[in-house]
Amino acid sequence: MPTVIRKTHETLMEVRRGILRSVSWQVRTGVWDPPTDVYETEDAYIVRMEIAGMSEGNFDVSIQDDTLYVTGFRPDFPARRAYHQMEIRSGKFTNAVALPGPVNSDRALAEYRDGFLTITLPKETTN
């Protein structure tokens, strides 16, 4: 069973995300953020994001300071429809993940497979 570590205080980014999620139930915003897991192994931090129905050219990954940014666009079907239920988001998305520690961005790897984007960020080693 995986160990889940919860921080006792929310970061500003987590508070913002919670507010946006609660508002999006009432108002459909144009920008959404995909479900994301962040965990670590002995050697790396792993960010796994669920963004099905895309191709590698539909998103961009970058690191600025101590934050990982993933942005992109999931296309919608152009046909008009009378929805009875609508939960699958489309359009522009963005996600910012505060990195838990220093990483070696030169050795970072991103892989998109089976609807999941997995980004492996090797931990910076201090010698």
Consecutive sets of 10 residues in the chain, 127 residues long: mean pLDDT of each?
55 63 54 92 96 87 93 81 80 91 94 94 85
* Global pTM exceeds 0.85: no
CATH of domain 30-75+87-122: 2.60.40.790
Give the CA distances from residue 75 to residues 90, 110, 127, in Å, rounded to whole numbers and listed in that order: 6, 21, 45
Domain boundaries, the chain: 30-75+87-122
121/105 Cα distance (integer angstroms): 7
Number of continuous H segments (helices) and E segments (strands) in the chain: 1, 7
Q: What are phi and psi of 24, to 5 degrees?
A: -65, -15
Judged on CB neighbours under 10 Å (0-12, 13-18, 19+), 70 is buried
Query: Would you state the structure tokens that stand for residue 75, as one six-digit string?
Result: 């296309």
pLDDT digits (tens, 9 = 90+) for 68-97: 999 998 887 767 778 788 777 888 999 999
